[in-house]
Amino acid sequence: MKRNLLYAFITSGLLAICCVVYTSCSKKEAAATNGSQVARPAAITSFNHPGVLNNTASLDLIAAQANGGNTARLSAYQKVLDYVNGQTVPTTFYATVTVGSNGVSTASKDQIRRDAELAYALALRWAKTGSATYAQQCIQILNGWSYTFQNYALVPNAGTNAYQPGLEASWTTPTFVAAAEIMRYYKINGTTGSGWSQADIDQFGVYLNNVKNNYINNMPVYNNNWNASMGYAKMAIGVFLNSVSVYENGKAAVLQYLPIIIDSSGYIGEMCDRNDCVHYQYSLTAFSYAAEIATIQGDNSIWTANSSRISAGYDFMRTAYTGAYCGVCATSSPVFPGTEVANHHYNTANLNYLRGLQAPLGIPNDRTFLGFTTYTHYNVSVSNF
């Protein structure tokens, strides 16, 4: 009897020890296999400005090169000039921007997309030339939308997605923010600012909170470019608002959807699902721009996340341009400007090939993402960001 009790006691003790060891090992294994948890940097506490795609060092460098006659930089800068010269600086703006799905156009949607690119182009032109005229024109656009805009509305047809405003806001808002960051923080020769008033800056913040709280935050889970664009937009907005919580929320979304949208082989299902060579590039561009925003804030974790999954996505894009995977891409298909930003970081043979197809890159034809990245990023050292 005593021997049986002793045996039971020893057996149960050994089992308990094994359970503790197994649990400890399992936790260590889980931690080791989840690189995003182990290697994730601490949340930032303050922001570097300008902080959306460009910073002071990179703007100083490209301006000096262009003004000094650097042929490649001037060739890329011509894309900025072409866009500015092809537009009229607006004097009227829409209180309600009406949007539809699947490429449906409206006058208000077309203008806000067009104006976002124009504001950014003017900001780049001011940073290069120092001419107050271009700063004033950029500020006119930023103020025009931030004081006038009230809401989005839907085109009344059965094909309109009720959440389309969130996607539209996720596309245009970061482009406005990139321009606004330059207007607010950049100084010509380190001394002369744009003259954008604090009252106007505050109103722009009101505009950002409107589109963020009422539209971008309501994005549904589609596991595609909608969610990638949402994360990118929130990171950009967080930088301007100096809001760590908004920025980190956007970054968390980017890291969450990155391995869902781009699988471990680099394949992006959006291309075949949508049967075009554009929508999957929305995801790649959003991820690349989000990664660059983080880099300016001293954090390369998005570029390296999931074994450099963004780079794998561009490897897939190179393969797709040979006609593989649904046959929807050809060498004449659009190359989105995110390609230049990714090439700036990774500098792979595949990315060099892709950006070279249509370099210097300007803006996307549909004006969904900010452009002119060959001017701002090509052959600019990563150390400048």
pLDDT at 81 over 80: yes
Domain coverage including residue 173: 48-384
CA distance 94 to 72: 38
What is the domain count for the chain?
1
Note whether residue 265 is domain-resident. Answer: yes
Note whether residue 25 is domain-resident. Answer: no
Note whether residue 169 is domain-resident. Answer: yes
pLDDT at 5 over 50: no
Note whether residue 125 is domain-resident. Answer: yes
pLDDT in tens, 216-253: 999 999 999 999 999 999 999 999 999 999 999 999 99
CA distance 41 to 229: 22
DSSP notation for 290-354: HHHHHHHTT--HHHHHHHHHHHHHHHHHHHHTTT-STT---TTS---THHHHHHHHH--HHHHHH
CA distance 36 to 294: 15
Note whether residue 238 is domain-resident. Answer: yes
pLDDT at 143 over 50: yes
User: Cα–chain-centroid distance for residue 172?
Assistant: 11
pTM: 0.89
Note whether residue 30 is domain-resident. Answer: no
From the CB of residue 267, how many other CB atoms can be counted at a distance below 10 Å? 18
Note whether residue 234 is domain-resident. Answer: yes
Mean per-residue pLDDT over the chain, rounded? 90
Pair 226, 36: CB distance under 8 Å? no
pLDDT in tens, 303-334: 999 999 999 999 999 999 988 889 999 999 99
Note whether residue 33 is domain-resident. Answer: no
pLDDT computed for residue 103 by the predictor: 85
How much is the average pLDDT of 130-147? 98
What CATH number does residue 374 fall under?
1.50.10.100
CA distance 215 to 167: 8
Band of pLDDT at residue 23, cut at 50, 70 and 90: very low
34 vs 382, residue with greater confidence: 382
pLDDT computed for residue 27 by the predictor: 32
57: left (phi over 0), alpha (psi -120 to 50) or beta: alpha
pLDDT at 29 over 60: no
pLDDT at 39 over 60: no
At residue 370's C-alpha, the angle toward residues 264 and 275, to 5°, is: 50
pLDDT at 112 over 80: yes
Band of pLDDT at residue 254, cut at 50, 70 and 90: very high
